[in-house]
A and B are shown apart, each in its own frame.
Chain A
């Protein structure tokens, strides 16, 4: 200071500037702490707490808004009648019950959600029995008296499922899937029957005659992002990686590798996996995959409380 020059201020960035300029090193600086804590304040394996509101759309048969942190997804289910006589190529008698919903296309989602639709079919979530509108034909003279009454399916309920993301802060798939489940759980279908005189389906307007869908065991999706420092320019042994549960928007942008596990109950425990997806990198090995599935199974218990309570 003797010659009168001011001391140069060190190059100091604010937290936000650091995150914006170099998101990768910013996240790495957080994760390299002895007790790794993510920039959003969560620990590595902490998911965001879900909140669910059902029945907020009054014109649909069922609806739900699911919020996971700053991600919010709204889902509406609308039921329409598909007459069996309108099906151009009726599936043969030997089509299994499980395949029927998919073959007839009774679930119609909007284009946002191919993975959601595919998962709905894989998990056989909806029982086709719930969607049938049946009619017991009166006995005629030709019938043998031993035969029971003849039941024919006159129509099906087709469910139009619309998923809309109203706020996005990472992990839309888990939120969308939960919204679909919650909306289907809240769906009430009116009592419908075949009127032989008018030859059409009639629906009862009475609220107390409606019935819901049977969703016994509910699959839950859990997504993980993997942050890895490995690159083609480094030795393979130098790479470090961290698994982040339920990534937010910032983490999703930095991480390329993701794991999604969909688990469901298998009788008593949560053993069964319906879908397991992993792509985008090489950091996850068999052991890490096992840890992800275990976390997904814990998350399943958490979701059951929210879905059944709400």
Chain B
């Protein structure tokens, strides 16, 4: 019961994915390594460019800021030194976003985990060399003080604080965006829960496809996606 993912909806892009979670849907495309404009060229590594298109209207300062956050995470996921003087471009079209009656910062934080997950899956679909696997999760402290994983829009309206965190397979914290009112102890508790959830999303499976460690409601959805993708890639060999 993870997010809804469909692979390779776009045929022109190197890698693409549509990613739908409870709150938002994102169409992500990854291209790379491609030729880079002179002014963005880096001598020792690939440049990373993230473009975000909102549901309606043109992108503005808000999207510029979201782009910079997503690009910072992708830089620590990609093997940039393998393609110096090139560009890795990720385009994210938001097709469904949390309603605009929410506070600005809540909308931003609610979007970020989906943007990270979508762009990671698009990079994996495009076959780009990656240093590690990353999973992001959204946690909300609702008005009763409970912590909700992947909250619904209703729960976001009155939430005390909202946290978007991303962990890689080594358990390193790659992104943490929190907004609202909370204290350090609360954040630490949330970070623990987020790490557990992210690890569960990529928990290894045994031969029968049963989760070996940790269980959550959503199961190892990321591991499952990547396994399916790898199996589809070698299907031709088994067919012959």
Mark A residues whose CB is within 8 Å of B: 99, 102, 111, 113-115, 117-119, 121-122, 231-233, 236, 256-257, 266, 271-282, 284-286, 289-290, 293-294
Contact B62 A114, beta carbon cutoff 8 Å: yes
Contact B183 A272, beta carbon cutoff 8 Å: yes
Q: Is B176 interfacial (CB 8 A cutoff)?
A: yes
Mark B residues whose CB is within 8 Å of A: 60-62, 64-65, 69, 72-73, 75-76, 79-81, 103-105, 108, 131, 168, 170, 172-184, 187-188, 191-192
* Shortest Cβ-Cβ A-B pairs, 3 listed: A282-B172, A114-B61, A280-B72
Overall SS of chain A's interface: mixed
What are the residues of chain B within 8 A of A290 when measuring CB–CB?
A: 184, 188
Contact A118 B79, beta carbon cutoff 8 Å: no
Contact B105 A278, beta carbon cutoff 8 Å: no
Answer whether A232 and B183 are a contact pair too, CB < 8 Å, given A279-B73, A282-B76: no
Chain A nearest CB, measured from B77 CB (Å): 10
Answer whether A122 and B183 are a contact pair too, CB < 8 Å, given A275-B105, A279-B175, A282-B76: no
What are the residues of chain A within 8 A of B72 when measuring CB–CB?
A: 256-257, 279-281
Contact A232 B173, beta carbon cutoff 8 Å: no
Answer whether A279 and B174 are a contact pair too, CB < 8 Å, given A121-B105, A274-B179, A274-B180: yes
Once bound together, how far apart are the Cα atoms of A99 and B103, in whole Å? Answer: 7
What are the residues of chain B within 8 A of A113 when measuring CB–CB?
A: 61
Contact B173 A286, beta carbon cutoff 8 Å: yes
Interface centre among A102, A266, A286, by most chain B C-beta atoms within 10 angstroms, is A286
- Of the candidates A115, A275, A286, the one whose C-beta lies within 8 Å of that of B191 is A286
Interface centre among B60, B61, B81, B175, by most chain A C-beta atoms within 10 angstroms, is B61
Contact A232 B170, beta carbon cutoff 8 Å: no
What are the residues of chain B within 8 A of A272 when measuring CB–CB?
A: 181-183
Once bound together, how far apart are the Cα atoms of A276 and B178, in whole Å? Answer: 5
What are the residues of chain A within 8 A of B65 when measuring CB–CB?
A: 114-115
Contact B183 A279, beta carbon cutoff 8 Å: no
Chain B nearest CB, measured from A218 CB (Å): 15
Q: Which A-chain residue is minimally distant from B188 (CB atoms)?
A: A286
- Of the candidates A99, A273, A277, the one whose C-beta lies within 8 Å of that of B182 is A273
Q: Which A-chain residue is minimally distant from B116 (CB atoms)?
A: A279
What are the residues of chain A within 8 A of B174 when measuring CB–CB?
A: 279, 281-282
Contact A236 B170, beta carbon cutoff 8 Å: yes
- Of the candidates B170, B172, B173, B177, the one whose C-beta lies within 8 Å of that of A277 is B177
Q: Which B-chain residue is minimally distant from A264 (CB atoms)?
A: B181
Q: Which A-chain residue is minimally distant from B100 (CB atoms)?
A: A103
Answer whether A280 and B76 are a contact pair too, CB < 8 Å, given A118-B104, A119-B105: yes
- Of the candidates B75, B108, B177, B183, the one whose C-beta lies within 8 Å of that of A271 is B183
Q: Which A-chain residue is minimally distant from B184 (CB atoms)?
A: A293
Contact A280 B178, beta carbon cutoff 8 Å: no
Contact A276 B187, beta carbon cutoff 8 Å: yes
22 contacts between A and B (CB under 8 A): A114-B64, A118-B108, A121-B103, A121-B104, A121-B105, A232-B81, A233-B81, A256-B72, A256-B75, A274-B181, A275-B178, A276-B177, A276-B187, A277-B177, A278-B176, A279-B69, A279-B175, A282-B168, A282-B172, A285-B172, A286-B188, A290-B188
Chain A nearest CB, measured from B101 CB (Å): 8
What are the residues of chain A within 8 A of B73 when measuring CB–CB?
A: 279-280
What are the residues of chain A within 8 A of B176 when measuring CB–CB?
A: 276-279, 289
Chain B nearest CB, measured from A169 CB (Å): 20
Q: Which A-chain residue is minimally distant from B61 (CB atoms)?
A: A114
What are the residues of chain A within 8 A of B173 when measuring CB–CB?
A: 278, 282, 284-286, 289
Once bound together, how far apart are the Cα atoms of A282 and B105, in whole Å? Answer: 24
What are the residues of chain A within 8 A of B170 when measuring CB–CB?
A: 236, 282
Chain A nearest CB, measured from B163 CB (Å): 8
Q: Which A-chain residue is minimally distant from B171 (CB atoms)?
A: A285
Chain A nearest CB, measured from B164 CB (Å): 10
Chain A nearest CB, measured from B75 CB (Å): 7
Once bound together, how far apart are the Cα atoms of A290 and B179, in whole Å? Answer: 16
Contact A273 B187, beta carbon cutoff 8 Å: yes
What are the residues of chain A within 8 A of B172 when measuring CB–CB?
A: 282, 285
Q: Which B-chain residue is minimally distant from A117 (CB atoms)?
A: B104
Once bound together, how far apart are the Cα atoms of A186 and B131, in whole Å? Answer: 50
Once bound together, how far apart are the Cα atoms of A281 and B74, in whole Å? Answer: 9
Answer whether A273 and B183 are a contact pair too, CB < 8 Å, given A114-B65, A236-B170: yes
